[in-house]
Structures are given as structure tokens and as C-alpha cells.
Amino acid sequence: MTDGGEGKAPAGPLAGIRVLEFGQIAAGPFAGSLLADLGADVVKVENPSGGDGMRGWPPLSSAEDGTAFSENFASVNRNKRSITCDLKDEASLARLADLVSVCDVVIENFRPGVMSRLGLGYEEVRVRHPGIVYCSISGYGQTGPYAERGAFDVTVQAMSGMMSVTGEEGRPPVKCGVPVGDFCAGLYAAYTILAALMQADATGEGSYIDCSMLGSLIGVAALQTSEFFGTGRSGGRLSSAHPRNAPYQAFRASDAYFAIAAGNDALWREVAEAVGLPELTDDPRFRTQSDRARNQKALAGLLEARFAARTAAEWLEEMVRRGVPAAPINSYADILENDLHVAEMGLVRPLTLPNGVETRTTAFPVRMSGFEFQIRRPPPRLGEHTRDVFAEWLSDDGAAHAK
């Protein structure tokens, strides 16, 4: 293990794990950030002329001296170090290959074939380092008819089928407001990297991981894909409603929308009583969960007529009192600034950008006994750690790490 250049071993279950991240924009950097948050020494490899394109994404927070830093970039690159390398220079690539030979994990999300053309593909790397865990993240995977296609989150959401079940019936397609293609791929990648590290530790043999955004979005759509396999029918757009449950959606009160999820018969009875319509529980259209799902438009019309008489806050209080899962339709300002539960969970943390600007970020969201998440390093300036990383990792002690 090395101390990451900070004088003491970094805290976390992945302390001592070295990761080289050839990450751009979101999917690769998010996978790297998950490992970094858990203590790995994640070193981001960037082009000296500009680096990761997300460095230029707004919002850009400026210091008094005019230097600006991207808060988008900061959100998925904290706890990392940055080195620069000219990937068109053979001497620089040779030095980079030396780093690869002493790390534990490589993450890259270039188009398929780029790393091999640089002499840094998995087949080239494993010759010097058979225990390497090498993860390629791409839109459509490394092989197949779509492999060479460019991919962004919206195009993969469209390709995967996700957009066909998102939005309102009869309206134009919409994507999820969060880039789930990028971030689901990052989650699958990090999860699989950890499994491969366990295998490498046990056997000495590394692994090649081919993680695609398309596969990841199909993977998280298990309920939708199983519906198709079981019925032969694709699901449709239901706005906030559910294909197998009702009432289970957003409803409008007198002043705002709120959401309820009466996912079983007992909860349905509570909702019916709350709105003063207990007789609906004996209505043949709404007696069982399947009945209610099949007739949910009629049910929603009856409920919304009653919900219009009171405010969303009043209905939320009533539903919570009755044990019915319910929630306001929060903005990010609502949930991050004003929510007492999020505050108690410690999900919002202070962050100092490299230019000295004080901002905030979200914490690693999973609690683990014996480990407390901390921001050990701010997001790095471009190339900030080039000299340190080469000196540490390629020293006699550092080179022994991979043996």
C-alpha cells in the first residue's frame, strides 16, 4: 500500500488499490469516483490541452482572481488525482505503460479500439501485468453491429426502450431527467471491478470487463423486460402511474402535486377512507390490486376530485398518519436545502474547489460500519499530481505493489 502522497494511508475499504482512470465526461469518471470515495487511489489520466471535457461544463464557479472551476466536474472527480499525458507522444505513452504495469485497475471509456491503438489495450497490458482488472465502458459494448457508434445518454435511453415507458401517453418521447445511462453504467462497472479484484486476489489472474450503457439500462429494466417476456407486449407510457399497482402515482391537490403509493389492499383501504369513499373498496373495478391497475384511470378521476379539496401538505399529513407511503414532488432545492431527513443522513457536505471557492457536494450515499466517508482530496487541477504519481508509483517500493 502507498499513502497517496499525503503522508498517511487513506481511510476506506479500498485503501491501497491503485486505479488509472482514462475517463471522460460521466460514465468512466463516476465509476472512478465510487472507488475513490471508498479509499482507492484513483489517478485520472488527461490530455494536457484541456483535459476531461467536463472541466468546461457550467456551472463554473469563479474565485476573486477570476479562475473558474466546473462544479459538474467536481461532482464526479473528488478524491482523485490528475496527471497529464500526451497520448500522441511515444515517450509519454511508454511512461504511461509503466504506470499501468503497477496499478490494480484500469477504467477507460474511449470508443472501442482507441486504447489498443495506443498500445494500452487489455491484450497489450496483460502481457506485462496478468493480474490487471481492466474495465472498458462504452455506449454499446466492444463488439457487435453498434460497437463503433457514438453514444450519449439520450441516444442510449432511446435505444434501450427506456424512453418508450417514460412520459405521458400520446405525448412526445421524453428522457429521464437524470443521465441514467451514464450513471447506471458507472455503477455496474464499479460493482464488477470489485468482484474482479476479489478474483484477482484469489487467483492472480485479472479480468477484462466490457460494460455498456445499453446493457446497463436493459439490466435495470428487469420489471419491464419480464413483463414483455411474460405477455409478449411492451409497456407504455403511464406518466407517474404504475402498470401493476393503483393508486400509485402523482395526484394534484388544491395547490400542488404529491405522490402516493398504495401498493396493497390494506393501504388502498386507508386511501379510500382518507378521501371519504370507503365504498370504493367493494367496487368490482377496484377490489383487487389487478382490478385497480386495470381501471386506474377511472380510479384516478374519482380520487383527484377529492384531492382537489385540500392542500398537498394536508393530504401528506393524512397519508403519513395512516401509514400510506406518500411524498411531495420536491425540487433539488427542496430536498437538498430544506429536508430534515437528508440533513440527518449527512448527504450534503462542504467542498472547497481548487480555486478556493467554497461549495457543496453530495456524500457517498451508503453507510458502512467501520468506515466514514470523507472528502480526502478536492477535485484536482489538470495535471496537478503528474510528478507525484510517477515518482510514487514507479519508485522501488511502488513498483513492488503489483508483484
Render pLDDT for 54-102 as a digit per residue (tens, 0 to 9): 999 999 999 999 999 999 999 999 999 999 999 989 999 999 999 999 9
- CA gap 238, 241 in Å, rounded: 5
**What pLDDT score was predicted for residue 228?**
86
Name the residue among 238, 126, 234 with its Cα closest to residue 171: 238
Task: Report helix, strand or coil for 98.
Answer: helix
How far is 286 from 278, CA to CA, in rounded Å?
11
CB contact at 8 A, 190 and 28: no
For residue 334, what is the DSSP state? I
C-alpha cell at 89: 507522444
pLDDT at 403: 57
How far, in Å, CA of 168 to CA of 30, rounded?
30
CA distance 245 to 261: 8
Q: Reduced to 3 states, what is the DSSP secondary structure of residue 293? A: helix
If you search the block for the grid coordinates 490494480, which residue do you land on? 104
Would you name the residues annotated as active-site residues?
182
CA pair distance 350, 93, nearest whole angstrom: 37
C-alpha cell at 268: 388502498
pTM of the prediction?
0.90
**pLDDT at 401 (0 to 100):** 66
Mean pLDDT per segment of 10 residues, for the chain of length 403 residues?
44 93 94 96 94 93 93 96 93 93 95 91 93 96 90 92 89 91 96 97 95 95 89 84 87 96 94 95 93 93 95 96 95 91 93 94 92 93 95 77 61
DSSP annotation of 390 reads H
DSSP annotation of 368: B
Within 173-311, residue ranges assigned H as helices are 180-203, 213-219, 222-231, 265-274, 289-294, 296-307
pLDDT of residue 398: 61
Distances, alpha carbon 149 to alpha carbons 115, 146, 152, in Å: 16, 5, 10
Q: How far apart, in whole angstroms, are the C-alpha atoms of residue 338 and residue 116?
A: 49
The per-residue pLDDT for 8 is: 47
- Can you give the pLDDT at residue 5? 43
Exposure string for 82-108, b = 16+ CB within 10 A, e = fewer: bbbbebeeeeebeebbebbbbbbbbbb
- As a whole number of Å, the end-to-end CA separation of the chain is 12
> What pLDDT shows up at residue 236?
84
What per-residue confidence (pLDDT) applies to 253?
96
Q: What is the structure's pLDDT at 69?
A: 94
Q: Which residues pair with 261 in a beta bridge?
A: 248
What is residue 1's predicted lDDT score, i.e. its pLDDT?
37
Integer CA distances (angstroms), 138 to 23, 47, 89, 105, in order: 11, 19, 25, 17
Q: Using N-to-C axis directions, what is the helix angle for 180-203 and 27-37, rounded to 10°?
A: 50
